[in-house]
């Protein structure tokens, strides 16, 4: 049973470009969570999605960031017009239902130059 998959593992973008981060949850999991870890800081919750629905986006920056989890395909975290401060590790987690433990992917390391 494959774990949570994230791609790309490393992403380099110039300031002003767009970054798209993909997350495929574990088989049978319909709940997806995105977290961000800035350099030398802790993990911070960004957004919680179920298929086709955003349930909790309380941790998402108000501008430039969006997330989706379509009926078919992976969850996408999209960052428009990236800035240097967006450089971080972005982790995706999934769970089979509410109230369950979350299983994390290996992360995508975004570097903005």
Partner 1 sequence: DAKTTQPTSMDCAEGRAANLPCNHSTISGNEYVYWYRQIHSQGPQYIIHGLKNNETNEMASLIITEDRKSSTLILPHATLRDTAVYYCIVRVNFGNEKLTFGTGTRLTIIP
Residues lying near partner 1 in the complex (CB under 8 A) are found at: 4, 31, 33, 35, 42-45, 48, 55-56, 58-59, 89, 91, 93, 95, 98-99, 101-107, 109
Closer residue to partner 1 (CB): 19 or 90: 90
Q: Which two tokens stand for residue 44?
A: 């911070």
Closer residue to partner 1 (CB): 74 or 103: 103
Closer residue to partner 1 (CB): 17 or 37: 37
In angstroms, the first-to-last Cα distance of the chain is 37
Chain center to CA of 49: 10
Closer residue to partner 1 (CB): 59 or 74: 59
The least CB distance from residue 50 to partner 1, in Å, is 10
The least CB distance from residue 16 to partner 1, in Å, is 27
**What is the per-residue DSSP string for 15-69?**
TT--EEEEEEPPTT--EEEEEEE-TTS-EEEEEEEETTEEEE-TTS-SSSEEEE-
The least CB distance from residue 32 to partner 1, in Å, is 10
Q: Which of 96, 56, 55, 94 is nearest to 105 (CA)?
A: 94
């Amino acid at each position: 049973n494959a774990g949570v998959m994230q791609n790309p593992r490393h992403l380099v973008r110039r300031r002003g470009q767009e970054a798209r981060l993909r997350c495929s949850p574990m088989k049978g999991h319909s709940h997806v969570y995105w977290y961000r870890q800035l350099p030398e800081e802790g993990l911070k919750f960004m957004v919680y999605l179920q298929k086709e629905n955003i349930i909790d986006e309380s941790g998402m920056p108000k501008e430039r960031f969006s997330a989706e989890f379509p009926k078919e395909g992976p969850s996408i975290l999209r960052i428009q017009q990236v800035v240097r401060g967006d450089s971080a590790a972005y982790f995706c987690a999934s769970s089979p239902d509410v109230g369950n433990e979350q299983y994390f992917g290996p992360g995508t390391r975004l570097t903005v130059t």
